[in-house]
Each structure stands twice: as structure tokens, then as C-alpha cells.
Amino acid sequence: MGMDIYGSHPSNEAGEYFRASIWSWPPILSLVRTANQVFNLSYDTAGWEMNDGCGLDNQEDCSILADAMQRLLHSAESPVLTAEHGGMAKAMSAAFGSNIGVKPQAETSKEHVQRFIDFLRGCGGFRIC
């Protein structure tokens, strides 16, 4: 289970496809949303936590987002980025019982985030499936 992200008009191999697990996507999306806010990018990221085809539709926006994310990534002190994943943990606990071992926090490495930034630089727009 996770996010399969496909480049719309890739200009290089890195821009063809990016995959993030259900645990690694929330910190990446959190960084996207932080960059969106800090740099006043005004991208609509509603639905990016789902696999229903949302994303950006052109390379210019992807490059701007990549640059903003790169600046934030360089300022992060930890080699691991985290994001609260409490909503999913609560839903799964309610559905399957309270002791299922769901992590309340999701995490990913800076290297994985860098791969997403590299994907953005060559994808020509993308959709999250």
C-alpha cells in the first residue's frame, strides 16, 4: 500500500515514476505543504493524501515546488523527517482493535525526499495514483 506517482511528460528517467509507502508519504506531503505555505506557492494540495489522480499539471509548477522543497530539506537538521500519522492510526485501531501496532508517526529519510525532488524536476506534471 502506498502512493504511485506518475510523471505526465517526463524528460528523464527520474521523472517517470516515484513510489512512497503509506509510512513515507506523510512526511513528504508535510514538507510539500510547508513549502507551499512558507513560499506562498498557492498550490491546491487537497486530495494529495489519496490515490485519486491529484497532482500538478505542468513542469513549471513542479520545478518551483522542487526548489522550495530543496531549500527546506537543506535546513532540516535530522536525517529522518517525520509526520504525525494519528488519523490513520486511530481509524485502523477503531476498525481492527486497539493493539494492532500502528505507528502514530510516519517517517522517511532525506534521501527519499531528495528522490521525490529529483522526480519533480523531470516529471512534466504528475498524478498520484
Q: Whole-number mean pLDDT of the chain? A: 84
Over residues 52-107, the pLDDT tens digits come to 999 999 999 999 999 999 998 888 665 556 665 444 444 444 444 454 444 556 77
CA count, 13 A, side-chain hemisphere, 29 = 26
Least confident among 10-14, 23-27, 52-56 = 23-27
Three-state SS annotation for 45-81: CCCCCCCCCCCCCCHHHHHHHHHHHHHHHHHCCCCEE
**Span 99-118, average pLDDT:** 77
pLDDT score of 85: 44
pLDDT at 84: 53
pLDDT of residue 120: 98
126 confidence band (pLDDT: 50, 70, 90): very high
Query: What is the residue whose three cell numbers read 502514530?
Result: 104
Q: Are 2 and 21 in contact (CB under 8 A)?
A: yes
Q: What is the mean pLDDT of residues 99-128?
A: 84
Predicted local distance difference test score (pLDDT) of residue 106: 75
Contact of 49 with 26, CB cutoff 8 Å = yes
Q: Give CA–CA dist 60/99, Å, rounded.
A: 45
Give me the residue spans of the domains in the chain.
2-128
